[in-house]
Amino acid sequence: MSAIKKQLFEQLALIAHSLGSPQRMEMLDYLAQAERSVDELSQLTELTIANTSRHLQILKQHGLVNMRKQGKNRLYKLAGDDVVKLISSLRNTAENHLAEVTCLKSSFIANEIKNQTISSQQLLDKIDSRDLLLFDVRPSKEYQQGHIKGAINIQPEEIETKTENLAKEKIVVAYCRGAYCIYSYQMLESLKAKGIEALRLEDGFPEWKAAGLPFEVCT
């Protein structure tokens, strides 16, 4: 029994090894949003094709991502929503026990919008309200592969032009990739400059989907 227990811990350590690379963590973050090719991930992470492939093979070998072939391309996606929950748990633990994480997070979040948040449950309670304006502030590809029910896509580069003339009496909520994504923060800052109060979803779309909450896919 002791030998089996040691072997089980060895297998758990393989998962920890997979997460022990900032490059692989970044890749998992991108794959949580949408299925992507090696070339696309290489561009997003600013790594060579060879390095990107090497990191993806480790993630695939240890069961965190799946791969399928489409013509000459190899497309990767997360192996399951439990991978999103694993990363969220890691992030929460780091924020609770590593002061440097809190300092780094504070460095890109403006104090005046830091607390303008809404929880997933609070948003779920308002999801069918006619007074709600829900914005998905992510690239179009990510929105098309999955978004919160009823969300309107505003791509990051459109924040300034697409937020004019919003009805101030509406409940405005924005979300993006997750806790460390700046797009929803940028939108809140833009709206605040226009005199419109808005809220930011505490988490991103991957956490919403992983929790089994209602989402849609563009067909």
Segment 83-87 mean pLDDT: 96
**Which pairing describes strands 171-175 and 199-201: parallel, antiparallel, or unpaired?**
parallel
Count other Cβ atoms within 10 Å, centred on residue 14.
Answer: 13
Give pLDDT tens digits for 86-110.
999 999 999 899 999 888 877 766 6
> In terms of domains, do 70 and 116 share one?
no
Domain final residue pick, 29, 59, 79 = 79
The one-character DSSP state at 151 is P
> In terms of domains, do 209 and 145 share one?
yes
> In terms of domains, do 71 and 113 share one?
no
Segment 132-148 mean pLDDT: 96
Burial status of residue 213 (CB atoms within 10 A of its CB: 0-12, 13-18, 19 or more):
middle
Residue at token pair 């690239």: 139
Give pLDDT tens digits for 142-164.
999 999 999 999 999 999 888 77
> In terms of domains, do 128 and 196 share one?
yes
Write down the pTM of the prediction.
0.90
Flag whether 95 is in a domain. no
Segment 18-42 mean pLDDT: 97
Q: State residue 169's pLDDT score.
A: 72
> What's the distance, CA 189 to chain centroid?
20
> In terms of domains, do 55 and 122 share one?
no
Q: Give the CATH number, domain containing residue 212.
A: 3.40.250.10
Q: State residue 192's pLDDT score.
A: 86
What sign does the dihedral 37-46-158-127 (CA atoms) show? positive
> In terms of domains, do 198 and 133 share one?
yes
Give pLDDT tens digits for 161-200.
887 777 677 889 999 999 889 999 999 988 988 888 899 9
What sign does the dihedral 187-42-75-70 (CA atoms) show? positive
| pLDDT classification of 59: cutoffs 50, 70, 90 | very high
Q: Give the CATH number, domain containing residue 21.
A: 1.10.10.10
Asked whether residue 132 carries a pLDDT value surpassing 60, the answer given is yes
How many structural domains are present in the chain? 2
Full domain range(s) for residue 29: 2-79
Asked whether residue 208 carries a pLDDT value surpassing 60, the answer given is yes
Contacts (Cβ under 8 Å, ≥6 apart) of 195:
168
Which are the catalytic amino acids? 176
Candidates 110, 113, 111, 125; CA nearest to 171 is 125
> In terms of domains, do 19 and 61 share one?
yes
**How many angstroms separate the Cα of 20 from the Cα of each of 16, 70, 195?**
6, 29, 43
